[in-house]
Structures are given as C-alpha cells and as structure tokens.
Chains A and B, each alone.
Chain A
Amino acid sequence: MKMKMMKIRNFQHAKNGAPFLSNKNAQIKIQETAFVLLAIALLAVLLFIFYSRFQVGNIQTAVQAINQETAKSMLGKIAAMPELSCSGLGSENALCIDKDKASILSKAKGYEKFWQNVAKIELVPIYPESPRITIYSGKEGNATYSTFINLCSQKADVWSCAIGKVLITI
C-alpha cells in the first residue's frame, strides 16, 4: 500500500515538476485569498447600498421640507400678484383675489413655468358657494396646502366678495 502511494506521488512529481502537496497548499491559499477578496467586495457593496439608501432618504426628506416651505411662502405671495390681486380696490386690496382676473389668468398662455415646483393652484369659494377656479394644473402633486382669502369680483364700480380658500398642491 505504502509502495503504491509512493508511486502515485512520484507520478505527480514527474508530471508537474513541482511537489504535489505544496501545489495543493498554494491552491488552497489562492482560494482563501479569493474568498477574502469576495467577502471584502460584498461588504463594500452592502455598505454602499446601505449608505445610498440613507442618503436618498435624507435628500427626499430635505426636498419634502423645501417643497412644504415653497407652498407656504407661495400662499402668502399669491394674493399680491398683480395678475390676481384686487388692484381696483386700492389700499383695501390686501389678501383679496379678483375672481375675474383669476378666470382670465387660468386661460392665459406663457405662465406654465411661472408657477415653478407647484402642481396645482385652485380657488374655492366657500361662502357663498360657487364653482372652483383652477388657475393652474400641471403635474401630479403629493400634498395640498391652503389658506383663507377674500374672493371678490367687480360689477361696474361695485365689488362683491366671498369667503374662499386658495389651494396649492406641491
């Protein structure tokens, strides 16, 4: 049996010109190294995925907060726009939207980009109730913010007003 093994070993020696056992050890070492490299690469990929998810989450939260601020500041700004304000009312025009101007503006061209980051702007007369006016409707929105406002319309030199709401969807 021992003789037979020796023969086999000698045969391997003759074939490769290098010791059989040492060759096998080297192969194991290379395999070990390859596994270590693979493990490191996998770990790096996992860390990268974890980090990018965390970063995307952070960015989405920041975008949401900024959009919310945009909507809130837009609510304050909208009644002061000359395209919508009750300019004919003089100094009493604060927080008042001219319904006639609003319906004209809803059909006006060239204002699409002007409402940047806003998905929809609507005026809703609450009391007395009347149909809502959609000033702008673009992309799909996620959240709607609103504020109360006077919605007035001019008939000759007389103004009649309703209590209404401005809805801004972001």
Chain B
Amino acid sequence: MKRGQFEFNWLFALILGAVILFLAIFFAGKLINTSQYQGSAEIVREFDILLNPFASVGAVGTITLAKEVSMPSEILINVSCSSDGLGKNGVAVAQKSGSKFKELTPEYAIYNKYIFGENLQGKSFYIFGMPFEMPFRIDDLIYVVSEDYCFVDAPQKIRDDISILNTSKIVSRSSTAQCSPESKRVCFSDMNGCSMSVYCDDIGCEQGTAVKAGKVYFYKKSLMYAAVFSDVSVYRCNLKRLLARADSISDIYQQKSYRLAADCEMYGINNALAAFKSEVASLKSSLSPDPRTIVTEANKLDNENNIARCPIY
C-alpha cells in the first residue's frame, strides 16, 4: 500500500468515526430530551385526571377532599388562566434535571376545573378542594400548595379548617414570630412581617379583602383561600370564569323554572334569578370584580328558593 493511500484510509476512518460519534451523541441527547418531554406531557394529563376527585364531591360548606400528592421527580407547575367564554386554566410542567428545570411543556388547557396555586415546585404538593356557592353550587375550587403557609391570628372558623386539613404545609399561629422563616405569613390583622394580609368583614370570614401584590375581594371562605393560595391575576381570572359559569347555570335554572311554572308559582324565583343574572353580567365585565356586590341579589334568590313549593336548586 502506498503512503498516500494509507493516509487517506486513516483520514477517512477518522472523519467518518467522528461524524458517527457526533451523530450518536447528538441523537442520544435528543432522545433523552424527548423522553423527558414526553414524561412531562404525561404528568400534565395525569395531573388533570388526578384533580378530578377534588372537584367532584360537591359537599356543601366543607372541604371536599384533601391529600398530599407525591410526584415521581421534582417538578415545576405553571398555572395560567384565560377568562374567554367559560374560560380555562392552562397547566405546563417542567421536570428537574440536575440542578435546573428543563423546558416547560406546551400549555395543557383544562376547561372544567378552577385551579388556584402559585410558585408550585417540588416533589410533593398538598391539594384540597372546597365548594363555591353563589347562592347555588357553581363548582369546587381546587387549591394546590407547595410552599409552607403560616396563618397568623386567623378567626376560629379558619383555624377549624386548618385543623381539618391537618398538614404541615398550612399551620395556624398567634404571631408572626412563631412562624418558620421560610413560610409565607398570612396575617388576619395589621402587623409587621406579613407576606399578605386578609381583612375579614365578618366573624366567619365569609366576605372581605385580601392584599398582596394587589387588592382582591372575596365572598365566601372558598374564595378567601383562593386569594391566599394563588397570584392576583389567576385569582381575578378564575373569579371571572366562575361568574361566567354562574351565568350559564342561571340560564339552566331559568329554563327549569319555566318548565315547573305549569304546576308551581315561580314568579318570585324568576324575578330574583333575572336580577341575579344581570348583577353577574355586570360584575363579569369588571377588571377587578368584587363579588360582595352581588350578595344582596344572591341572598334574595336563596330566600325565594327556600320558600318556594318547587325549589329549583
């Protein structure tokens, strides 16, 4: 074999070897990324399914279900919201690889749940649900908690809920000094060192205002927890979605009351329902809806329904 030929063979083997090696490493990298991405996509869908029991019990006035959920690996969950029509929550997940999180999956739209949560990352999440009624049941609200929360100087009814929840992630203390330094401090009276403040209008904290990055209003305890556990934009958006849902359910009750009108006197309920619907419609278009403004109409509707011979809900 001549010297030129020998050199060509070596050069060819080296170049081809390098190309094959490069392609192998490149595709192996892509393969790992794809399988992680596929894993994250499956986690998003399973997360949606996992939330179903928290929104299906429909118990009145209590916590529907509370569970600590562990994931196979540390994940980051991003919850977004859109209030167009009946609206949707968008959920995207990223799995941790080494010290940082991989790329978020494309947003998976969840149209039939109301998810409240912020800064969700970790291996275990505490999830619980609570029904929202205004005055009839709209749906169950789902709270996803990954950080530690310390409720300071909370009213007795809130302390009772916390003891039912029975989790280390949400505790009740009488002063901020008793809270762990990493926890988010939710204060129910004016004091220093709070992450956010909740001002209750009544003893049961059924109405009030919550202040953190912005000011939000709540009506019913379930919305108070929603304001605590989610960021301001998701809270406002989900509240608009709930109002849109209340509007749709009102339509169904209105149609049902027309059907019942042949046998029962439905005049009072129909009038109250129409007034309630118009309040809901105007509140829905507000930038920062204050659900306390429909309390009067909601109570009127509830009274009419309670005294009616043929109640609609």
**Is B26 engaged at the interface, CB distance under 8 Å to the other chain?**
no
Q: Could you say which residues of chain B place their CB within 8 Å of the CB of A157? A: 264, 309-311
**Is A74 engaged at the interface, CB distance under 8 Å to the other chain?**
yes
Residue of B nearest to A87 (CB): B313
A-contacting residues, B252-266, CB 8 Å: 252, 255-256, 259-260, 263-264
- Interface size counted on chain A using CB atoms at 8 A: 40
Contact check, B252 vs A114: say whether CB atoms are below 8 A apart. Answer: no
Interface of A is mostly: helix
Q: Could you say which residues of chain A place their CB within 8 Å of the CB of B112? A: 114-116
Of the 9-residue stretches B41-49, B186-194, B226-234, B282-290, which lies at the interface with chain A? B41-49
Contact check, A80 vs B252: say whether CB atoms are below 8 A apart. Answer: no
A-contacting residues, B1-26, CB 8 Å: 2, 5, 8, 12, 16, 20, 23
Interface bin, chain B: 35 or more
Q: Could you say which residues of chain B place their CB within 8 Å of the CB of A101? A: 252, 256
Q: Could you say which residues of chain B place their CB within 8 Å of the CB of A104? A: 252, 255-256
Contact check, B49 vs A156: say whether CB atoms are below 8 A apart. Answer: no
**Is B208 engaged at the interface, CB distance under 8 Å to the other chain?**
no
Q: Could you say which residues of chain A place their CB within 8 Å of the CB of B45? A: 66, 70
**Is B268 engaged at the interface, CB distance under 8 Å to the other chain?**
no
> Do A100 and B256 form a contact, CB below 8 Å, given A113-B86, A156-B310?
yes
Chain A to chain B contacts (Cβ below 8 Å), 19 pairs = A62-B38, A66-B46, A73-B49, A73-B53, A82-B249, A83-B252, A87-B137, A88-B310, A88-B313, A104-B255, A105-B252, A108-B248, A110-B86, A154-B256, A154-B310, A156-B260, A156-B310, A157-B309, A157-B310
Chain A interfacial positions (CB closer than 8 Å to B): 22, 26, 29, 33, 37, 40, 44, 55, 59, 62, 66, 69-70, 73-74, 76-77, 80-83, 85, 87-88, 98, 100-101, 104-105, 108, 110-111, 113-116, 154-157
Chain B interfacial positions (CB closer than 8 Å to A): 2, 5, 8, 12, 16, 20, 23, 34, 38, 42, 45-46, 48-49, 52-53, 55-58, 85-86, 88, 109-112, 136-139, 248-249, 251-252, 255-256, 259-260, 263-264, 309-313
